Amino acid sequence: MTDELSRKRADARRNRQLITEAARATFAAHGLDVPMRAIARRAGVGPATLYRHFPTKEALIAETFAVQMGRCVATLDAALDDPDPWHGFCSVIEKVCETQAVDRGFTAALLDSMTTDYVRVRDHNARRFAELTRRAKESGQLRQDFVPDDIKLLIMANGGIGAASPAAARAASRRLVALLIQSLRAHPADPPAPLPPPAPLDSHMDVKL
Our finding on whether 67 is near a copy of itself (CB under 8 A) is no
Our finding on whether 205 is near DNA (CB under 7 A) is no
SS3 88: helix
Of 179 and 205, nearer to DNA (C-beta) is: 205
Q: Please, what is the minimum distance in Å from the beta carbon of residue 31 to a copy of itself?
A: 5
Q: Which residues are within 8 A (CB) of 11 and not within 5 positions of it... i.e. 6 or more apart? A: none
**Cα 122 from Cα 113, distance rounded (Å):** 7
Query: Residue from 19, 23, 32, 40 that binds a copy of itself (CB under 8 A)?
Result: 32
Query: Residue from 28, 80, 102, 156 that binds a copy of itself (CB under 8 A)?
Result: 156
Tell me the HSE value of 30 on the side-chain side, using a 13 A CA sphere. 11
Binds 35: which of a copy of itself, DNA, none (CB < 5-8 Å by kind): DNA
Work out whether the CA dihedral 85, 88, 94, 96 comes out positive or negative: negative
**Cα 86 from Cα 170, distance rounded (Å):** 23
Our finding on whether 143 is near a copy of itself (CB under 8 A) is yes
Our finding on whether 47 is near DNA (CB under 7 A) is yes
Binds 205: which of DNA, a copy of itself, none (CB < 5-8 Å by kind): a copy of itself
Is residue 201 a contact partner of residue 172, using CB atoms and an 8 Å limit?
yes
Query: Residue from 52, 63, 157, 166 that binds a copy of itself (CB under 8 A)?
Result: 157
**Cα 49 from Cα 51, distance rounded (Å):** 5
Phi, psi values for residue 95, rounded to 5°: -65, -50
Our finding on whether 94 is near a copy of itself (CB under 8 A) is no
Binds 207: which of a copy of itself, DNA, none (CB < 5-8 Å by kind): a copy of itself
Q: Which stretch binds a copy of itself (CB under 8 A): 40-48, 66-74, 120-128, 179-187?
A: 179-187
Give the number of other Cβ atoms within 10 Å of residue 144's Cβ: 8
Our finding on whether 17 is near DNA (CB under 7 A) is no
Work out whether the CA dihedral 60, 96, 107, 132 comes out positive or negative: positive
Our finding on whether 49 is near DNA (CB under 7 A) is yes
Our finding on whether 80 is near a copy of itself (CB under 8 A) is no
**Cα 109 from Cα 33, distance rounded (Å):** 11
Please give the residue ranges that form the binding site for DNA (CB under 7 A).
8-12, 15, 34-37, 44-49, 51-53, 55-58
